[in-house]
Structure 1
Amino acid sequence: MELMFAGLAGILLGVAVQFAAPHRATRGPVLLPALGGIVALVAWQALTWLQGPAPWLAYDGGWIWVITLLVAAVVTIAVGWSLSARRQHDDDDLLHRLSHLGRAQTTT
């Protein structure tokens, strides 16, 4: 049951980053929420495997939630901002190349 809540929290983090990151139109509307959910699920599962050697990662403790949500937020924010910046740069470059297509090259 906690795994479902972790995935839902990751999706909600992804929705928040989707609206907070710049150049929202350059990404699909579901990319960051899906990424947030997947990262949260993987982080939660990895942390549950570590419960044996690290008993402070118990389900009823707060650290497993803090780490899971922090990892999901960091990854989603990093991908959201870098993907937006890269896509904007590539779109500007393509526009520049297409607007100068077919013009004579000048040699100096």
Structure 2
Amino acid sequence: MYILLALIGACVLGVAVHYLIPHRGLRGVALVPAVATAVAAAAYALGQWAGLKESNIWLWLLSLGGAVVVSALAGLALTRLRQHGDTARRAQLGI
């Protein structure tokens, strides 16, 4: 049941990261929160399999901190790819 708290927290933090990263109009509103939630689920499960208990702070830092870092990096990378693709497309079309 504690994994639900981690997933909800990661989704909320993913929404916050979405609004903190610039150029949010270039990516979908659900992309960064979805990445954050998926990373938190994987990290929490791996932490549990590694023997970390629900009361261990490292499990929560691993799942929530990893979710924030990975989703921020993914959002920045995908935004940069989108900007590069848009620029190339405009140059191709002569706009």
TM range (shorter): over 0.9
Give the TM-score of the pair, scaled to structure 2.
0.93
1:20-75 alpha-carbon deviations (Å, 9 max, x no partner): 11111111111111111111011101100010xxxxx2211211101111211111
Q: Does 1:14 align with 2:14?
A: yes
Runs (5+) with no aligned partner, structure 2: none
RMSD: 1.1
Count of residues paired in the alignment: 95
> Paired residue for 1:94?
89
Runs (5+) with no aligned partner, structure 1: 52-56, 101-108
Provide the C-alpha distance between the structure 1 equivalents of 2:80 and 2:20, rounded to a whole number of angstroms: 14
Higher relative helix content: 2
Identical-residue share of aligned pairs (%)? 35
- Rg larger in structure: 1
Q: Does 1:79 align with 2:74?
A: yes
Give the conservation status (yes or no) of the 8 Å contact 1:23–1:88: no
Provide the C-alpha distance between the structure 2 equivalents of 1:82 and 1:34, rounded to a whole number of angstroms: 15
Moved >3 Å (runs of 4+): none
Give the TM-score of the pair, scaled to structure 1.
0.83
